[in-house]
């Protein structure tokens, strides 16, 4: 299969996506089939899998002309992903063990919680090879259970229904875990994503370094892990804001597991930040970790307004020298426009704000320089100055 002539294709620089208008669709290729991809002059680029129903019609999984999606191939990639993480994370702690394009297994995500693995299969090409993926995960990690959480709307873009259920063994409803000495529980069958936002782990750890003795606000708290990390690091008080009942129950459970009280407001962050300001409450450390405001590029100006609004409110709540950890997990909002929203928020807040750090997802969610879409999580650390 040859790409249309059109300048220099991103895949020559290591990207793995080929859109449906970038080549002539062959008639004889089955949905999900493997395909060799060459540039317009016929030079081999790599091998991918094909889905005529998807806008991303081919995803490359290798640059080798010999590799195919066998169980051995999946094992090789899973071992490469495991070995790359050894420098950053102890092997027995909860972590993402496969991150799709970030680990050159496009369409497969897997998280390890104790002796259980939760997988998400996001594309047709990988859906058809579920058994091999499971076999490979079993060979490398020998978990007690593998559970599938492919209940994600993005599967419809691949022509696939949502699905969830046990693939190996029977996963518990609740699994107790710890990271960095902080205890928490995940509910793999019902929680967000696979049960937990592991991507914020290093940011929570850094957050906790500023917490001792301070008043802490954890907004968009979900299971409360920013707040609980801060509580364990000696915060004098922790207030969490979260709108979902179920998340609030999990949050309370996590606060109890660590014996750290958290004041909990089940409320809308947008309204509550205003209210806290009018009540004169101030915080030394704030986390703002909203859900993705943009599901599509079309909505990105709304997203920008949303980010600006909450950040402006949060900046006004900072004490003198207070620190704000502000995150955006939408890959449609790139770093530049996120920083733009923060600059506008800083101007309007009438606070002097210093940018201290720009952070990313934890390294078990590899950001590949050649694939900008893997850089979805931005976390800026700002300090209020006199």
Smaller CB separation from ligand SAH, 112 or 269: 269
**Among residue numbers 355 through 384, which ones bind ligand SAH (CB under 6 A)?**
none
Minimum distance of ligand SAH from residue 272's CB (angstroms): 7
Smaller CB separation from ligand SAH, 225 or 285: 225
Q: Alpha-carbon distance 267 to 241, whole Å? A: 6
Q: Which residues are CB-neighbours of 86 under 8 A, at least 6 positions away?
A: none
Q: Which residues are CB-neighbours of 277 under 8 A, at least 6 positions away?
A: 313, 316, 317
Q: Alpha-carbon distance 116 to 146, whole Å? A: 6
Per CB under 6 A, the list member of 180, 209, 291, 305 interacting with ligand SAH is 291
Is position 317 an interface residue for ligand SAH (rule: CB under 6 A)? no
Phi, psi (deg, nearest 5) at residue 190 = -125, -15
**Among residue numbers 184 through 223, which ones bind ligand SAH (CB under 6 A)?**
197, 200, 220-223
Q: In the annotation, is 329 catalytic?
A: yes
Per CB under 6 A, the list member of 98, 241, 342, 353 interacting with ligand SAH is 241
Q: Which stretch binds ligand SAH (CB under 6 A): 64-72, 119-127, 137-145, 235-243?
A: 235-243
Please identify which of the residues 11, 232, 329, 379 carries the catalytic annotation.
329
Q: Which residues are CB-neighbours of 33 under 8 A, at least 6 positions away?
A: 49, 50
Q: Which stretch binds ligand SAH (CB under 6 A): 37-45, 152-160, 263-271, 352-360?
A: 263-271
Phi, psi (deg, nearest 5) at residue 114 = 60, -120
Q: Which stretch binds ligand SAH (CB under 6 A): 89-97, 135-143, 253-261, 266-274?
A: 266-274
Per CB under 6 A, the list member of 68, 70, 268, 302 interacting with ligand SAH is 268
Per CB under 6 A, the list member of 240, 248, 269, 314 interacting with ligand SAH is 269
CA dihedral (132, 138, 143, 144) positive or negative: positive
| DSSP for 311-378, written as a single string | HHHHHHTEEEEEEEEEEE--TTS-HHHHHHHHHHHHHHHT-EEEEEEEE-S-TTS---TT-GGG---E
Q: Alpha-carbon distance 33 to 17, whole Å? A: 15
Per CB under 6 A, the list member of 23, 210, 226, 293 interacting with ligand SAH is 226
Smaller CB separation from ligand SAH, 109 or 221: 221
Smaller CB separation from ligand SAH, 75 or 379: 379
Residue 188 near residue 194 (C-beta atoms within 8 A): yes
Is position 309 an interface residue for ligand SAH (rule: CB under 6 A)? no
Smaller CB separation from ligand SAH, 22 or 253: 253
Minimum distance of ligand SAH from residue 302's CB (angstroms): 14
Q: Name which of 102, 28, 6 is nearest 59 in CA terms.
A: 102
Q: Give me the half-sphere count of Cα atoms (radius 13 Å) on the Cβ side of residue 293.
A: 20
The catalytic residues are: 329
The footprint of ligand SAH (CB under 6 A) covers: 197, 200, 220-223, 225-226, 241-244, 247, 268-270, 289, 291
């Amino acid at each position: 299969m040859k790409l249309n002539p059109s300048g220099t294709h991103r895949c020559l620089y290591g990207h793995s996506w080929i859109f449906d208008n970038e080549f002539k669709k062959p008639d004889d290729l089955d949905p999900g089939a493997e395909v060799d991809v060459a540039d317009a002059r016929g030079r081999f680029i790599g091998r991918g899998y094909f889905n005529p129903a998807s806008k991303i019609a081919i995803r490359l999984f290798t640059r080798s002309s010999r590799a195919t999606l066998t169980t051995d191939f999946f094992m090789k990639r899973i071992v490469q992903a495991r070995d790359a993480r050894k420098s950053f994370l102890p092997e027995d702690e909860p972590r993402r063990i496969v991150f799709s394009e970030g680990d050159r297994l496009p369409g497969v995500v897997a998280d390890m919680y104790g002796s259980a693995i939760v997988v998400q299969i996001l594309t047709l090409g990988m859906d058809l090879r579920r058994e091999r993926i499971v076999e490979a995960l079993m060979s490398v990690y020998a978990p007690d259970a593998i559970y599938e959480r492919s209940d994600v709307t993005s599967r419809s873009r691949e022509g696939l229904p949502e699905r969830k259920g046990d693939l190996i063994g029977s996963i518990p409803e609740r699994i107790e875990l710890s990271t960095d000495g902080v205890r928490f529980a995940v509910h793999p069958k019902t929680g967000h994503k696979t049960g937990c936002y592991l991507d914020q782990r290093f940011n929570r750890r850094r957050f906790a370094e500023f917490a001792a003795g301070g008043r802490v606000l954890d907004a968009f708290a979900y299971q409360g892990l920013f707040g609980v990390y801060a509580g364990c690091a000696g915060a004098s008080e922790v207030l969490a804001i979260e709108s979902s009942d179920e998340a609030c129950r999990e949050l309370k459970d996590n606060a109890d597991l660590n014996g750290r009280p958290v004041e909990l407001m089940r409320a809308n962050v947008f309204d509550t930040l205003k209210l806290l300001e009018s009540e004169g409450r101030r915080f030394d450390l704030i986390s703002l970790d909203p859900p993705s405001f943009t599901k599509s590029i079309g909505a990105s100006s709304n997203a920008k307004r949303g980010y600006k609004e909450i950040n402006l409110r949060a900046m006004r709540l900072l004490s003198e020298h207070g620190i704000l950890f502000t995150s955006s997990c939408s890959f449609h909002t790139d770093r530049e426009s996120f920083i733009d929203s923060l600059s506008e928020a800083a101007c309007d807040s009438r606070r002097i704000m210093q940018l201290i750090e720009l952070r990313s997802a934890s390294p078990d969610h590899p950001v590949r320089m050649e694939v900008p879409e893997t850089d979805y999580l931005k976390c800026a650390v700002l300090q209020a100055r006199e």
